[in-house]
């Protein structure tokens, strides 16, 4: 089994502990209190962008002290609010390499069309008072889709013996 590496090139002993530490860091670095972090996270997911008093500070406190797991929704909200992708990068690094053939160009094209449409709709919604965090998340999805397509394209170019220009 291959060792797992963290952001600084060191071996990760437990990817969950790494994600926990990064999430705690986002909360403590970007918010004056846990209550303000819980409020911002609730506002992020609320349809109007204002959850009012409908947020759970105790749940965030439990996540901060490790007695409750962080959810995917927590990762998305905190990453978007803080403007950081460190947690997502750490999670991605903890995944095993996928075996098998790369995704076909047609599948990538379908995904790009889908993500592009969602990103466009989210940006248009912002111009009409929608949530900018949602638009940012959609644009990050587009970037991830483009990166995956480029990675597979480069891998297939090298496998075919035709390196891409500039390489």
The answer, yes or no, to whether residue 161 has pLDDT greater than 60, is no
The three-state DSSP-derived secondary structure of the chain is CCCCECCCCCECCCHHHHHHHHHHHHHHHHCCCHHHHHHHHHHHHCCCCCCCCCCCHHHHHHHHHCCCCCCHHHHHHHHHHHCCCHHHHHHHHHCCCCCCCCCCHHHHHHHHHHHHHHHHHHHHHHHCCCCHHHHHHHHHHHHHHHHHHHHHHHHHHHHCCCCCCCC
Q: Which two tokens stand for residue 32?
A: 């004056």
**What pLDDT is stored for residue 11 in this prediction?**
52
Find the mean pLDDT for residues 117-144. 89
Question: Cα torsion at 36, 40, 46, 51 (round to 10°)?
Answer: 30
Q: Which two tokens stand for residue 45?
A: 């997911």
Beta bridge partner(s), residue 52: none
**What pLDDT is stored for residue 153 in this prediction?**
82
End of a domain among 46, 63, 94?
94
The answer, yes or no, to whether residue 100 has pLDDT greater than 70, is no
Over the stretch 78-96, which tens digit does the pLDDT of each residue have? 999 998 888 888 887 777 6
Q: Is residue 28 in some structural domain?
A: yes
Answer yes or no: are the C-beta atoms of 32 and 38 closer than 8 Å.
no
Q: Are residues 88 and 47 in the same domain?
A: yes
Domain that holds residue 149: 105-159
Tell me how many domains the chain contains: 2
The answer, yes or no, to whether residue 1 has pLDDT greater than 50, is no
Find the mean pLDDT for residues 109-135. 89
Q: Are residues 66 and 116 in the same domain?
A: no
Q: Are residues 89 and 109 in the same domain?
A: no
């Amino acid at each position: 089994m291959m060792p797992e590496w963290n952001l600084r090139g060191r071996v990760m002993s437990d990817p969950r502990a790494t994600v926990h530490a990064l999430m705690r860091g986002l909360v403590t670095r970007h918010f004056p209190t846990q209550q303000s972090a819980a409020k911002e996270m609730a506002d992020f997911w609320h349809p109007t962008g204002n959850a009012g008093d409908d947020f759970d500070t105790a749940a965030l406190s439990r996540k901060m002290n490790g007695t409750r797991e962080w959810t995917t929704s927590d990762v998305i909200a905190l990453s978007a609010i803080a403007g950081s992708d460190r947690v997502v990068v750490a999670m991605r690094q903890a995944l095993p390499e996928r075996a098998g053939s790369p995704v076909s160009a047609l599948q990538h094209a379908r995904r790009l069309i889908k993500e592009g449409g969602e990103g466009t709709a989210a940006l248009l919604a912002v111009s009409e008072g929608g949530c900018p965090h949602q638009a940012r998340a959609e644009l990050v999805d587009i970037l991830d889709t483009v990166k995956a397509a480029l990675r597979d394209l480069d891998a297939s170019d090298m496998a075919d013996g035709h390196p891409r220009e500039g390489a």
